[in-house]
Amino acid sequence: LCRLQTHCYYHGSVRGFPHSRVALSTCSGLRGVIALNSTLSFELQPQEDHHHEEDGESGGSGEGDEGVHLLFSTSSLEGDGTGGCGVSHTAIPPIHSPTHTHRTKRDILSETKYIELVLVADHQEFLNYQKNNKTIIYRMLDVANQVDWFYRPLNVRVALTGLEIWSDRDKIRVEKSPIDTLNNFLQWRSRDLLPRLRHDNAQLVMGGSFDGTTVGMASQSSMCSRDRSGGVNVDHLVSVLGVASTVAHELGHNLGMSHDTAERRCACQNEPRLGGCIMEPSTGFMPGQQFSSCSASDLSISLLHGGGMCLFNVPQPERLLGGPRCGNLYVEKGEECDCGLLEECEDPCCNASTCQLVPGAQCSSDGICCQDCKLRAAGSVCRDPLGECDLPEFCTGSSPYCPPNVFLQNGEPCEDGASYCYGGVCASMNTQCQMLWGPNATSAPAVCFSSVNKKGNKYGNCGQLSNGSYIPCANADVLCGRIQCQGGRDRPLLGTNAEILTTTVRLNLVCRGTFFHLGDDVSDPAIVAQGTACSPGKACLNQKCQDVSVFGVDECRRKCNGHGVCNSNKNCHCDVGWAPPDCRYSGHGGSVDSGPARAARDPVRVALLVIFLFILPVVLLFLALRFPRFRRSLFCLGPNSPFHKARQHSRTPVMERADGRNGEQVRPNFTTLTTPLKETPVTPDRNNYLTFFLVRFVCCFLIFEGAPHHIRSRNNIQTKYSVTVSLFTPVSSWKTTT
């Protein structure tokens, strides 16, 4: 891996052109793109680069040449012809989740996402540039700079954290088939690259070409996946803009974006003759330079559905290639903040010239946990959960940034035990049927799955072999094959090229399945989703019905001592009232990954509690002892109090003599006098008054500052409220029967 220490990459705009955008490099001469508006853009590069491509000469020494530069319209770019993407044109929207709140949507979409990207140049690319490592390094850095430029309007930053050049030989078999090359590259990434370099996505840049017109291929909706987050791209144009647009396109597929086809009616500011938008299914010499409305919508839906769970952590500055520089929007060593260049900075808390906080500011407003230049209190929610398989994150009180996103460990039960979490999403057959056939669709009975998936054809199977043949499902795996549904619309919601299979089984039971022509590397939405329950204690995994013990949930839960759940990092997320890492002792809840679930005590709150629990009782007690009238009022001892009336009722009755003489007490005639039983207030011993008084204050302390765990537990909220009501019921209302 090559790591450069000189930062020479810039984003900006052209004065006098409000909507212009510029992405330039000064590493070895000037290179980049200047887009004045949606119809006019130029590319700038040193003349030697142009000669290198045309005549096969060396690209120069890379020592900051000050020679002639070429400025030309991007509409005049040269290349080998039109290029296309290997992913099918059918739109593949993610499953919609109906439970998202407006606050969640606003937070997820407004928060900046970061893709930690690794670029890999194959051996043919190394040969194409005369085995000049430095030339290739600068070209790859230019590509990353352009891709970052493309994604910034979507509030997504692309951070290059690794660059590898296969200068000796290819580390995989680079085939003429794009799907074979992609599979080989993704296997190498999972097996070799990911263990030694943490990243979110990897893209292979090739010096050769594929059969046909395909210039790139990627897995759909696979961002953050260990096995499928990546793509392959052909360096097919002289211009850096060409390969950068291709990488951005394939990266878009990883993020869940589909092609901008005619039936989708996408809004694109660029005219088709000028390249259209980045997610066009094919492009000519003029590559797309921006994303359409459809791409923005696809990304939003994917994020709200739980896609891109790994994109919410800010990359560590030391892992960024290119070295530190004030104005690149990354807070690096020696900086307190970084709001970009002086012209683009809109942060009132940050000095763009020095990348230091303004006087009096605690933090930069680009972080969710910073408000009005002050850090939000620890325990403030900064990222709400996206459904029951996600977990909230909380401000730490020491950083303006929300902690990295985590979710429930794979295999945790969801939907009241009807299914299991996988990748932060609770997948169920009903939800999947509704995604395919509309909101009124439901999953078909098991007999439909058995009848269809045992056949081993394209309509019903449990996988496909490398030779193209389908695998019949075993009896135990029929619920993990292709989804079978009932009800809903007449045709699937996805695209227009789906085949429908209607099956009638015994008792005239009708169920429907579908087959999509989506291409070899697009995740099939008609296969039962990972994590779906297939029998008690079992879930679908790789089209096999496997015991959920393979996820290790029970083993992880045991270390949480019954007071928490495990997150995606296999750390305990503790209930409120218990402290991480193992939920054994009292604490604020949350996890070592998410931050504290409850705010720490602030000085104002502590002062109020001291007054309420200590000073106020002492004052009241002093007044009660010093002033009898206050004591009678405080302890309900006045003549109109229930206690006083209780004493009157408890005295021996005075009876009037039959002869008219009064004042002499006589024994009642119980044969004629009856005193009905009635409820009267208990008259506590006067020594207990102080006890009652103090008990109330102690109970207040337990309620507001952390009562015993059975009161604080999130599963016993009702207990807490019932205790509160009983504690504040006046003493005078306590009844008994006399």
Q: Known catalytic residues?
A: 250
Q: 640 exposed, middle or buried (CB, 10 Å; 0-12, 13-18, 19+)?
A: exposed
What the block records as the tokens of 154 is 């979507």
Q: How far apart are CA 454 and CA 460, in angstroms?
A: 7
The DSSP 8-state label assigned to residue 6 in this structure reads -
670 φ, ψ to 5°?
Answer: -70, -10
Q: How far apart are CA 600 and CA 587, in angstroms?
A: 10
What the block records as the tokens of 169 is 């030989």
Q: Which residues are within 8 A (CB) of 726 and not within 5 positions of it... i.e. 6 or more apart?
A: none
SS3 per-residue string spanning 275-318: CCCCCCCEECCCCCCCCCHHHHHHHHHHHHCCCCHHHHCCCCHH
**Are the C-beta atoms of residues 66 and 41 closer than 8 Å to each other?**
no
Buried b (16+ CB within 10 A) or exposed e, 263-296: ebebebbbeeebbbbbbbbebbbbbbbbbbebbb
Answer whether the bond into residue 536 is a cis peptide, omega within 30°: no
H helices present in 56-151, as ranges:
102-110, 123-128, 133-151
Q: How far apart are CA 312 and CA 403, in angstroms?
A: 8
What the block records as the tokens of 18 is 């409000």
**Are the C-beta atoms of residues 181 and 219 closer than 8 Å to each other?**
no
Q: How far apart are CA 342 and CA 329, in angstroms?
A: 11
Q: How far apart are CA 51 and CA 56, in angstroms?
A: 7
Of how many residues is the chain composed? 738
Neighbours of 534 (CB within 10 A): 23
- Which amino acid, 543? Q
Measuring CA to CA, how many Å separate 550 from each of 62, 351, 411, 480?
53, 52, 8, 16
